[in-house]
Amino acid sequence: MNSFDYILKRSGRKSLSISVGRDANVIVRAPAGMPDKEIQAFIRQKNEWVKTKRDIQIQKQAKPLSFVDGEQFEILGFAHKIKIYPQPSAKIAEGCLYLPDLHNKKELAAVCLKDLAAKTFSSRITAFEDALGKQKNNLKLSNARRRWGSCSSAGDINISWRLVLCPLQQVDYVLAHEASHLAHPNHSKAFWKTLSEICPTYIDDKAELANHEFVMDLI
């Protein structure tokens, strides 16, 4: 028994395939004359894979925050609630993002999160620089929504401040990745070798980071 609905498309193809679209719909493509029994067996075999992919796509469809009292989201992998309170500035404390009851809550939240991002990224990238024996020129926050980070030929590292909405493990992966570019400006074999030495879990971290792309559109 499948835990999801799917669309079956038959054609002159020779093999079976299954895919999950950005809308989380499941498409099964099969040869025109293949028996239903074989198709069902294939789908059952892929059941867990499909469930995982659908969960990822549904997460990516997360709506932007509304900045209302009690709304929940994560900061550095820890659950936080938005709390409206009678003060003029925003702050993060005790598992809450405190926001004043003003019209510009989104902007105040962004300022608060950028401050945390700057402090977190600056302190955590140091370990990777020390391991590499390389030093960045500058570490800057970017407003990027489609790119986590970059490293220029001058040694300037830019990181999207929205990375602070991801777990620390993924934060460290991005910082290690960009720091590795201080030694290798491209994605050569030497680059990946260096990255694996300072971030041994980078393959899993990179895959998990893809599951958090939706945070780019939260704020």
pLDDT greater than 70 at residue 7: yes
The answer to whether 135 and 156 are in contact (CB under 8 A) is: no
The answer to whether 138 and 157 are in contact (CB under 8 A) is: yes
Please give the average per-residue pLDDT across 42-68, as a whole number: 84
Q: Where are the domains of the chain?
A: 7-60, 113-217
pLDDT of 195 reads 98
Q: Report pLDDT digits (tens) over 168-185.
A: 999 999 999 999 999 999
pLDDT of 60 reads 65
The answer to whether 106 and 218 are in contact (CB under 8 A) is: no
Query: Superfamily for 113-217?
Result: Metalloproteases ("zincins"), catalytic domain (3.30.2010.10)
pLDDT of 55 reads 79
The per-residue pLDDT of the chain, averaged, comes to: 93
pTM reported for the whole predicted model: 0.75
Structure tokens at 155: 């040694």
Identify the band that residue 141 occupies on the pLDDT scale cut at 50, 70 and 90. Answer: very high
Identify the band that residue 54 occupies on the pLDDT scale cut at 50, 70 and 90. Answer: confident
pLDDT of 57 reads 74
Q: Report pLDDT digits (tens) over 115-133.
A: 999 999 999 999 999 999 9
Cα–Cα distance, 54 to 27 (Å, whole number)? 12
- Say what percent of the chain tops pLDDT 70: 96
Cα–Cα distance, 176 to 209 (Å, whole number)? 13
Structure tokens at 174: 């991005």
CB burial readout 120-141, b (16+ within 10 A) else e = bbeeebeebbeebeeebeebeb
Identify the band that residue 1 occupies on the pLDDT scale cut at 50, 70 and 90. Answer: low
Identify the band that residue 104 occupies on the pLDDT scale cut at 50, 70 and 90. Answer: very high
